[in-house]
Amino acid sequence: MNKECVVLGLNWKRIGGWSAILLSVQLVIITSIIMLFLYPGGYDFWGVKISWIGYSEVYGVPTPLNWFLYATTTTLGAALLIVFLFSWRTVFTETTLSKALCWIGAIFGLVGALFWAVSAIFAGNLYGNIHNLGAEFFWLFATVAVVIYSIAILLKKDYGYFYALIGILPVLIFGVHVSGIFFGSAEVALQKVGFYMIPFYFALQGFGLLRYSRKFAEVQATAGHHLEE
């Protein structure tokens, strides 16, 4: 591998790591602003679904700014998620199985990200069926992507099993949510936990990718030094 390819690969990994972190930070900030300052009558965190903060009208009060901010932060999050997944994929290249798993995981993540954006762009109060379909398919495809990447991490011994184990949390929450076994206030609470599991999980994975990129750089620098000798 020549020096230019190594630098490109390293930079791409760093871009992916920071994309995951930015995804998480901007999502938490924007949704918190809507909940704390812009939601009509005050937002009932455990009583109202997260999608309501992206409605164009709430309790008869027009909320176009809420819809715009929620659709923007979610669409940006989806775009950053796609960048992260395809960057993350470049880490797991030792075996044909690892490569195949990560390509499949990236594709599932890509489709899930698109459905995530759809669920926000089409506000639930105006396009209920499209919104609900987008949300459910997002949870489903995201769950599969996390499972696949967790397996790939377990197969790569030098990456850190911790980053595979933290995938158990979103998979359990997403899986239970998709199953529809909870109703009423329990469903709302589970949905809220699942939504904020997104920034939690991907922020940690972003830091994990940055950590690996540093290790990758050190290994390549050592290899280059030995070649020069």
Q: Give the pLDDT score at 103.
A: 95
What is the CB-side half-sphere exposure of residue 149 using CA atoms within 13 A? 33
Pairing of strands 61-62, 57-58: antiparallel
| CA 135 to chain CA mean position, Å | 14
Q: Count up the domains in the chain and report the number.
A: 1
Q: Give the pLDDT score at 10.
A: 72
Q: Give the pLDDT score at 209.
A: 95
Closest Cα partner for 7 from 226, 217, 206?
A: 217
Q: Give the pLDDT score at 228.
A: 45
Q: If the chain, 229 residues long, is cut into consecutive pieces of 10 residues, what is the mean pLDDT of each piece?
A: 54 93 97 96 90 95 97 97 94 92 96 97 96 93 94 92 92 79 77 90 96 77 47
Q: Give the pLDDT score at 220.
A: 58
Q: Give the pLDDT score at 222.
A: 53
Q: How many residues does the chain have?
A: 229
Contacts of 118 (CB under 8 A, 6+ apart): 130, 131, 133, 134
In which domain, by residue range, is 179 found?
3-228
Residue at token pair 């280059």: 224
What whole-number distance in Å separates Cα of residue 46 and Cα of residue 14? 36
CA 109, 79, 196, 54 torsion-angle sign? negative
Residue 125 corresponds to which tokens in the numbers above? 């109060």
